[in-house]
Amino acid sequence: MLLAGCEESLSAVHPAGPAAAVIAQLWWVLLGGATAIFLFVAALIVLAWRRPPAETEERRFVIWLGLAFPMTVLAALLAYGLVVGERLLPRATPDLVRVHAEARQWAWRFLYDDLPRLETNNVLHIPADRPVDVAITTVDVVHGFWVPRLAGKLDAVPGHVNVLRIEADAPGRYEGLGSEFNGVGYRDHRFTVIAHDDAGWRAFLQGERP
């Protein structure tokens, strides 16, 4: 059961795009920091058990370990989080592709700015190695749009459009899911992203369906 969380197709630590790579790096940094803090606290507990009470220096302990240490760690995490957030901001680019994702119980409908009359259900087509802005909304309740190997999660909110930048490094199939609880059946609210190479994307735009 524990190994089920290691499935690569839905693994955020197996990134296949620049945004997902930044998020995976953040995950590893937080894991390393949490491990270091745990080992440090464990060492302090062992030290407190072994040291005679008469040698305890409460004032220095409170100032350096109770205030300075957590404030330093929190400040470092805040600075790193701001850097990561800035790297994830979408930037204007000439080769940008725009698509629309519309959620409902229990399906996803995708529309394409380059092909206004085309829509696909539960399968999103994108070009590989090009940034794609996904305009996400919903016709009923709140849903979650998440392709773990390509980008972070963003909610689909009724009456509102949220935009998420995704990008695939290479052609392939990438699994996505509705990651927000929205009633019985949400676990099967999944979709697939197909990233095409240049020839495949041109064929898709010309009406050739895989």
Report the pLDDT value the prediction gives residue 17, as an integer from 0 to 100: 93
Residue 64 and residue 117 in one domain: no
Residue 78 and residue 19 in one domain: yes
* 2 belongs to a structural domain: no
Place of tokens 């680019």: 93
**Is 124 within 8 Å of 107 (Cβ atoms)?**
no
* 159 belongs to a structural domain: yes
Name 110's bridge partners: 101, 120
**Over the stretch 58-97, which tens digit does the pLDDT of each residue have?**
566 656 666 777 788 888 888 888 888 888 877 778 889 9
- % pLDDT > 90, the chain: 47
Average pLDDT over residues 36-64: 68
The residue type of 204 is: F
Q: How far apart are CA 180 and CA 175, in angstroms?
A: 16
Residue 29 and residue 106 in one domain: no
Share the mean pLDDT of the chain: 85
Report the pLDDT value the prediction gives residue 65, as an integer from 0 to 100: 67
Residue 122 and residue 198 in one domain: yes
Task: Output the domain CATH number for residue 122.
Answer: 2.60.40.420
pTM equals 0.81
* 210 belongs to a structural domain: no
Among the ranges given (48-52, 86-90, 99-103), the one the predictor scored with the smallest mean pLDDT: 48-52
Among the ranges given (22-31, 119-128, 163-172, 177-186), the one the predictor scored with the smallest mean pLDDT: 177-186
Q: Specify the higher pLDDT residue, 184 or 128.
A: 128
Determine which helix (DSSP H) or strand (DSSP E) holds 136, and give its type and residue range: strand 132-138
Mark which of 88, 121, 154 sits at the end of a domain: 88
Report the pLDDT value the prediction gives residue 99, as an integer from 0 to 100: 96
* 4 belongs to a structural domain: no
* 6 belongs to a structural domain: no
Question: For the residues of the chain, what is the DSSP string, one character each?
Answer: -GGGGG-GGG-TTS--SHHHHHHHHHHHHHHHHHHHHHHHHHHHHHHHHHS-GGG--HHHIIIIIIIIHHHHHHHHHHHHHHHHHHHHS----TT-EEEEEEEETTEEEEEETTEEEEEEESEEEEETTS-EEEEEEESSS-EEEE-TTT---EEE-BT--EEEEE--SSSEEEEEEE-S--STTGGG-EEEEEEE-HHHHHHHHTT---
Report the pLDDT value the prediction gives residue 95, as an integer from 0 to 100: 86
- Contacts of 20 by beta carbon, 8 Å cutoff, 6+ apart: 12, 148, 149, 150, 151, 152
Full residue range of the structural domain in which residue 152 is found: 97-205
Q: How far apart are CA 80 and CA 65, in angstroms?
A: 22
Report the pLDDT value the prediction gives residue 16, as an integer from 0 to 100: 92
* 7 belongs to a structural domain: no
Total of domains in the chain: 2
Mark which of 56, 88, 120 sits at the end of a domain: 88
- % pLDDT > 70, the chain: 87
**Over the stretch 145-194, which tens digit does the pLDDT of each residue have?**
999 999 999 999 999 999 999 999 999 999 999 888 877 877 778 999 99
Residue 58 and residue 104 in one domain: no
Mark which of 88, 112, 133 sits at the end of a domain: 88
Residue 38 and residue 131 in one domain: no
Other beta carbons within 10 angstroms of residue 56's beta carbon come to: 10
Q: Specify the higher pLDDT residue, 123 or 118.
A: 123
Of 64, 126, 119, 138, residue with least CA distance to 96: 126
